[in-house]
Amino acid sequence: MDAKAFFDACRTGVMGPTLDNNEVSGATAILNAMKGAPLAYCAYALATAWHETAHSLQPVKEFGGTAYYTRMYDVNGQRPDLARRNGNTFPGDGALFCGRGYVQLTWRNNYRRAGEETGYPLEGNPELAMRPEIAAQIMRKGMAEGWFTGKSFASFLPTSGPATLGQFFNARRIINGTDRAATIADYAVKFQDALAGAGWA
């Protein structure tokens, strides 16, 4: 793929008119992680990250703080049974395994699985999920294998050729029902056009 052509298209499309270094480095990390993936898959990964990071394309940590993470995810919080089912069995796990990345990786069990799938020691060092190259690999694996909702890229998107706006709309179910699905679908169409014009294969 011609990276310059891709970023030039993004400047006049979804990401424009100017791009900062974080946007370029984040997009590059995602493009590298998505190598070999179908056009529509790559476009939707970019669109998802663009939305979930408030257009920074840098991994983000879930909004909140220790009290919130404890309440939501800790064995000493408001949902202890849910915490235990998801591997958060020790006090402090709520804050340790809060949401991070391009898509919010949460719970000890999910950090363990992501580490096993990517080869990074994420359970022992959850902050690694804030590195763009690792966050991008987690996003690809999770969206390809249906980690987040049981739905995957293949549930909605074609394995060759472009996806339609409607297909991208439904692909939001890979991450979060249909929350902001139309907005993200629009981003995905624009990223898809930029990728196709730059020769993504």
CA distance 116 to 122: 8
Q: 93: domain CATH number? A: 3.30.20.10
Q: Position of tokens 């202890």?
A: 80
How much is the average pLDDT of 116-130? 97
The per-residue pLDDT for 139 is: 98
CA 132 to chain CA centroid, Å, is: 10
**Where among 102, 130, 158 does a domain terminate?**
130
Report which residue type is found at 124: G
How many domains does the chain divide into?
Answer: 2
125 lies in the same domain as 66? yes
- Separation in Å, CA 28 to CA 36, 45, 49, 129: 14, 12, 12, 16
The dihedral built from the CA positions of residue 171, 172, 175 and 178, taken in this order, carries a sign that is negative
The CB-side HSE value for 95 (13 A sphere, CA atoms) comes to: 8
DSSP conformational letter for 64: S
H-helix segments, 53-107:
66-73, 80-85, 93-96
- C-alpha dihedral (110, 114, 177, 28), degrees to nearest 10: 150
Helix (H) or strand (E) segment spanning residue 61: strand 60-61
How confident is residue 13, by pLDDT bands cut at 50, 70 and 90?
confident
The per-residue pLDDT for 70 is: 98
**Where among 71, 101, 130 does a domain terminate?**
130
How much is the average pLDDT of 102-114? 97
142 lies in the same domain as 187? yes
Q: Which domain holds residue 27?
A: 3-58+132-197
The per-residue pLDDT for 111 is: 98
pTM of the model: 0.95
DSSP conformational letter for 76: T
